Amino acid sequence: MKSRDEAGISAVLQSRIANSDAALRRYSPETTHVMEELLPPGIVAVERWDDDESAVLPPEERVQVSSAIESRLREFATARSCARQALSEIGFPPVPILRGSKGEPLWPAGVVGSITHCTHYRAAAVAMQTQVKAIGIDAEIHDALPMEVVNTVCVAEEIAWLQRASDCLHWDRILFSAKESVYKAWFPLTRRWLGFEQAAVRVEEAKNAFRVRPLVSLPVELEQTLTRLSGRFLVRNGFVMTAVYLT
């Protein structure tokens, strides 16, 4: 069963999240290898803080974004270029990475991976399926979420925690990003939708980590795996980065 408007929820939420100029002023393009810090050995991440003007899309990928506006084309091409670079580091040739029916990147057989992009930032992470079962990565500008978005994205226990949490970081944004990373790892494994209200994230501040408790029944064959869902977060350079992986 679909929980809320599966097709439109993210677009609606994103349209309500305006990133403030103040948040973007903390950005410096020199920072590198942030995503890598969140990931264990065996997962290769490649990131860029600008667009790769030389990135060329293979025709199969170009067709999939033929109606996209210029900025979307550039972020898509740059993230794909990051993905091909990451693939080459684990021994794969530069193949097209098409989009599946639910938007998921279709990796070569035997590979798992994830892609993210937001203002100024694009990244891809990949690993061999023999070592890693699933990866989800996400990047967001480190800024407060509008309250209406918090109420849509967070379950009651997360809202209660936000009210108690220190105000040193925008924990609401960290929760949002963590949940998007969860979905990117979850979907390719389960082929099921997971709404924001269908998982609870518990942040372990001192460890820069979080644990995930799915609030839906799990496919029997994946029960053990999915109850181990956890991830890590970093706030750097004006951005929140999160990563979820299952080994």
Ligand X SMILES: CC(C)(COP(=O)(O)OP(=O)(O)OC[C@H]1O[C@@H](n2cnc3c(N)ncnc32)[C@H](O)[C@@H]1OP(=O)(O)O)[C@@H](O)C(=O)NCCC(=O)NCCS
Q: Is 125 in the site for ligand X (CB under 6 A)?
A: no
Provide, rounded to whole angstroms, the least separation between the CB of residue 179 and ligand X.
Answer: 4
Q: Is 99 in the site for ligand X (CB under 6 A)?
A: yes
The two tokens of residue 128 are 């061999």
Provide, rounded to whole angstroms, the least separation between the CB of residue 208 and ligand X.
Answer: 19
Number of C-alpha atoms within 13 angstroms, CB side, residue 65?
Answer: 22
The alpha carbon dihedral of 212, 205, 137, 109 has a sign of: negative
Interface with ligand X (CB under 6 A), residue from 35, 39, 180, 242? 180
Find the helix packing angle between 156-164 and 171-190, rounded to 10°.
150
Interface with ligand X (CB under 6 A), residue from 23, 76, 86, 134? 76
d(CA 142, CA 170): 7
The DSSP string of 173-200 is HHHHHHHHHHHHHHHHHH-----GGGEE
User: Which is nearer to ligand X, 168 or 217 (by Cβ)?
Assistant: 217
Provide, rounded to whole angstroms, the least separation between the CB of residue 215 and ligand X.
Answer: 9
Query: Which residues 197-236 are close enough to bind ligand X by CB under 6 A?
Result: 199
Contacting residues toward ligand X, per CB under 6 A = 9-10, 14, 76, 79, 99, 102-105, 115-118, 138, 179-180, 182-184, 187-188, 194-196, 199
